[in-house]
């Protein structure tokens, strides 16, 4: 019978030998797993570094498009409809200082002009009568208000300006090709009304208040001028434009839904895609009204405005 002590010693030696032989195998396997894991992680980071920029660009474009698209409840529409950003417009006038010398002594004298202004106004624009159409466009009008900014202006609205008599010059230009007898009659009428090539009016009259003129009254009442459209009873560069929507016409604009690159693009104006003011391509209704532009514009991109 073997000695129990010898048996324990032999068992211990065998166990030590067994552990000694297995340890290197386990270490090699673990190292290989770690290497494979690091390789996979590195490969994953490499794939992400290549694809993430393009994925982010795609997501960013989608995010921008979804935010900029104009819908009835979008922020873009609310800001566009009632623009909170202050807009300023400045008017300058050229006062004719030697108007009495125009034909003095039978010779022509070059007009001497004095620049006056700026007369600064705050401009507020609101889009009204907005109609949403099925073809991703909206139809609307716009109302404009102008408020005089005395603090940032050089001068008063009561400043007097000597300038060209636009009414009489327009009348003379209008009848230039009419029947000879009609031209003579209108010419005599202008002389009888003591019309001159220049007038003296205040800034407020020339801009928004307008001023009366006997030629306007005559053109609105005489049958000879029945084919001449005289829409107002006074003349002023912005007469009856303050707080009204009829002067700028009817706009039809793309909302950018479905194609964000078309946002703000005018599809037609007064229900036409072209106007009679200019021939050919110059008369086409193209571009934007200047409030909305598609994203991604660069400094070198050409911008069309109507």
pLDDT tens-digit profile of 75-85?
A: 889 989 988 88
Burial class (CB in 10 A: 0-12, 13-18, 19+), 214: middle
Global pTM value: 0.71
Look at residue 6 and tell me whether its pLDDT is greater than 60: no
Q: In a 3-state reduction of DSSP, which class is residue 237?
A: coil
Let me know: does 286 contact 278? Beta carbons within 8 Å: no
Pick from 246, 206, 219, 245: nearest CA to 96: 206
Total residues belonging to the chain? 306
Name which residue leads in pLDDT, 299 or 92: 92
Tens-place pLDDT, residues 132-141 = 999 999 999 9
Domain map (residue ranges) of the chain: 84-130+141-235
**Over the range 270-288, which residues count as b (16 or more CB within 10 Å of their CB) and which as e?**
eeeebeeeeeeeeeebeeb
Partners of 90 in the β-ladder: 120
Residue 8 corresponds to which tokens in the numbers above? 């324990």
């Amino acid at each position: 019978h073997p000695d129990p002590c010898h048996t324990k010693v032999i068992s211990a030696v065998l166990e030590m030998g067994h552990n000694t032989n297995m340890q290197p195998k386990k270490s090699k396997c673990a190292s290989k797993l770690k290497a494979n894991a690091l390789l996979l992680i590195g490969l994953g980071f490499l794939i992400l570094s290549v694809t993430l920029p393009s994925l982010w660009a795609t997501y960013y474009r989608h995010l921008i498009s979804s935010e900029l698209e104009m819908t009835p409840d979008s922020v873009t529409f609310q800001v566009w409809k009632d623009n909170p950003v202050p807009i300023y417009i400045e008017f300058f006038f050229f006062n004719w200082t030697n108007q009495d010398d125009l034909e003095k002594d039978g010779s022509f004298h070059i007009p001497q002009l004095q620049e006056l202004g700026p007369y600064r106004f705050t401009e507020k624009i609101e889009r009204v009568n907005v109609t949403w159409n099925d073809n991703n466009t909206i139809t609307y009008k716009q109302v404009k208000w102008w408020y005089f900014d005395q603090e940032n202006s050089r001068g008063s609205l009561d400043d007097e300006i000597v300038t060209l008599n636009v009414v009489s010059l327009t009348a003379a230009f209008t009848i230039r090709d009419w029947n000879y007898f009609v031209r003579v009659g209108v010419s005599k009428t202008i002389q009888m009304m003591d019309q001159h090539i220049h007038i003296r009016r205040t800034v407020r009259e020339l801009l928004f208040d307008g001023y009366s003129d006997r030629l306007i009254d005559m053109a609105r009442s005489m049958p000879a001028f029945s084919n001449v459209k005289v829409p107002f009873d006074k003349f002023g560069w912005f007469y009856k434009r303050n707080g009204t929507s009829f002067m700028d016409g009817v706009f039809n604009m793309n909302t950018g839904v479905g194609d964000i690159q078309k946002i703000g693009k005018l599809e037609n104006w007064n229900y036409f895609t072209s106007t009679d003011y200019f021939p050919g391509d110059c008369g086409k209704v193209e571009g934007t009204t200047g409030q909305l532009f598609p994203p991604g514009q660069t400094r070198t991109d050409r911008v069309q405005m109507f």
